Chain A
Amino acid sequence: MLYLGIAAVSVGGLSVLPFLLGDYGTGLLVGLAGYVTLATAWAMFSGPTRYISLATVAFFGVGAYTVAVLNEVLPYPLVLLCAAGIGATMALLVGLSTLRLAGIYFVIFSFGLAELVRQLITWFEVNVTGTLGRYIFLDLGAREIYWQLLALGVCTIGLAAWIRRSRLGLALRVIGDDETVAAHSGINLARSKLVLFVASATIITLVGAIQAPRWVYVEPSIVFNPTVSFLTVIMALLGGATRLWGPLCGAVPLFLLFEWLSARFPDHFSILLGLLFMAVVYALPNGVLAAIEGLRKPKRNGASKEATA
């Protein structure tokens, strides 16, 4: 009950923030909420299973593009529903063809997926519809987008928390530790992985769809920017992909840092990103939260040794 109370108060506090901050601050909040949701959704699947997905932007971009195509045809809630449906279908197809095999096939498939979807959409737009580039005319300001993302983010963290306590979460942790053991204890490997992958990809698609009105003008090279995949992975890893609050702890400082870096060093941004990414992989293999715990533990062990001696 206490936790629910804290959660309600903090969500309430977060939702009035746009009134206190100016336009620039609200813009930052949109990005923050977006990346926290992306990183949490990514870690929901890739954390416990250790199947590194490099295809975040493939789903994100599909969400954004669906809104760009349908925004004048259907009412907004239906557009979001369509985006989620398309994202889920795509994840189902990708998952069915790769998740039954060893993890490396999934990684490779996801590595080129964004480029494939981008080229396919470009080809379709140029050859069939004849228009490359679309406009989004939706009456949604930064504030409304932020509230939607906040709601989605809260749902995502709630879902992640629920999955961790459920049998499915336990099954995934066993799969991540040892697939053979998991299979022998009667876990349906492919189905467990597939369910989580589809859930995670659907959320990622929705983030893209909700953020789409921020662009106004959309074309494949804008919405399929590989940096999104990259940032999502590094944020989740920095915080710790196996922890519930890890992605959030990684996303907040990194997003602000990237915002500053991309303004200060626009030309060298991707070099700095890559170096930072490697630093995280080498220095904090299990994330900041685990490193902090690791710093505390040795002391405790030392104390207990003294006690026994």
Chain B
Amino acid sequence: MILSTLFLGLVLGGTYALLALGLSLQYGIARIMNLAYGEFMLLACFAVFMMFTSWGIGPLWGLLVVVPLGYALGWGIHALMMRPLLKRSGGGGRLEVDTILATFGLLFVVQGLMLVSFGSDFTSYSYLDRGIALLGTTVAANRLIAFVLSLVIGFGLYAVLVRSRWGRALRAVALAPDSAYLVGIDVNRLGRQGFALGGALAAAGGALVSMFQTFSATDGVVFTMKALIVVIMGGVGNILGALIAGLLLGLAETFVAAFIDPGLTLAATYTLFLAVLLWRPTGLFGRAGG
């Protein structure tokens, strides 16, 4: 029981970590608090679901389709919606309030579009739903694949951000947007790329979550909330922190659902959040560039 719960928790946590990474990039690099993040993740869920049920395209191929689309959508939203706000704020504290409000409106638009097209029912599909024996317990194959993929994507992104020149520039924008200009970094362009990269991660997270969990058009707020909590627990802009915090949140939630009550998972999430706020508001691992 404990071992299988541990596996379930790690799988869930892996996808939370991936979702949180995307949000962290959008907030850390592009300085945009995207409250419609969960809605974009759900769009990917529905896209993968439609491709699988109507055309028979497996979710793994679907992943390859929705990730570039997520990047493009993020790019487009930044160019169309966020740029006017960036220009208007002139780099002041006004930007945060404006982006929160604009994405709050966007949340209702995207949610409304999904409700009109897919209805409000819970949706799921069965893909690779057979058990695989692992250390004496069985884990569903789809969960295992989702876990491995989220770790691969997460650590791959970490490697890119730490090793490549592009990643270094992105981190420079996150750490010191005012000084990044001085070394010849186009802060606006990289901000947009960071936002688009966040959109790609939302799509990846959505595609992976849809493989093993039911979802509905109104779930976005809860996913955004969980991603936000992971970001704060890990420290804004801290990628390894987000990975670890995501795994912790997944474990906490699964253990509460298994041993206390499934109806209290959000309460568990909030308790963790409160504990972090009261004890270490800058995140468990502090605010770091890595």
Contact = CB atoms under 8 A, between A and B. Distances in A.
B134 interface: no
Given A271-B112, A271-B116, A54 B104 contact: yes
Interface stretch (A62-70, A104-112, A290-298): A104-112
Interface stretch (B40-48, B137-145, B206-214, B267-275): B267-275
Interface string B81-96: 1001100100001001
Interface string B247-275: 00000000000000101101100100110
Given A105-B232, A115-B266, A269 B112 contact: yes
Contacts of A122: 263
A120 interface: yes
B263 A278 contact: no
Nearest to B109: A274
B101 interface: yes
A52 B100 contact: yes
Interface stretch (A29-37, A95-103, A207-215): A95-103
B98 A119 contact: no
Given A274-B112, A277-B105, A277-B108, A107 B100 contact: yes
A53 to B, nearest CB: 11
A267 interface: yes
Contacts of A245: none
Contacts of A107: 33, 100
A52 B97 contact: yes
A115 B88 CA distance: 33
Contacts of B21: none
A282 B108 contact: no
Q: Which of A105, A269, A272, A274 has the most CB of B within 10 A?
A: A274
Interface string B101-137: 1101111111111011000000000000000000000
A104 B112 CA distance: 26
B284 interface: no
Nearest to A124: B263
A226 interface: yes
A97 B112 CA distance: 33
B278 interface: yes
A116 interface: yes
B225 interface: yes
Contacts of A115: 221-222, 225, 266
A101 B232 CA distance: 12
A119 B101 contact: no
A278 B105 CA distance: 5
B110 to A, nearest CB: 8
A270 B112 contact: yes
A267 B102 CA distance: 22
Given A119-B263, A123-B264, A270-B108, A237 B101 contact: yes
Most buried by B among A109, A230, A233: A109
Q: How large is the interface on B (under 10, 10 to 19, 20 to 34, 35 or more residues)?
A: 35 or more
B228 A281 contact: no
A104 B102 contact: no
Interface in A62-103: 97-98, 101, 103
A173 interface: no
Interface in A147-196: none
Contact of A111 (B106, B228, B281): B228
Contacts of B96: 103-104
A52 B101 contact: yes
Contacts of B281: 101, 105
B263 A123 contact: yes
A50 B97 contact: yes
A127 interface: yes
A270 B115 contact: yes
A57 to B, nearest CB: 12
B150 interface: no
Contacts of A119: 263-264, 266-267
B149 interface: no
A127 B274 contact: no
Contacts of B277: 97-98, 101, 105, 109
B25 to A, nearest CB: 16
Interface of B: 33, 35, 81, 84-85, 88, 93, 96-98, 100-102, 104-113, 115-116, 221-222, 224-225, 228-229, 232, 261, 263-264, 266-267, 270, 273-274, 277-278, 281
23 contacts: A52-B101, A105-B277, A105-B281, A108-B225, A111-B225, A112-B228, A116-B270, A119-B267, A120-B267, A123-B261, A123-B264, A226-B221, A270-B112, A271-B109, A271-B113, A273-B112, A274-B109, A274-B112, A278-B81, A278-B105, A278-B109, A281-B98, A282-B85
Q: Across the A-B interface, give the 5 residue pairs with the lowest CB-CB distance, nearest first.
A: A274-B108, A274-B109, A271-B112, A277-B105, A270-B112
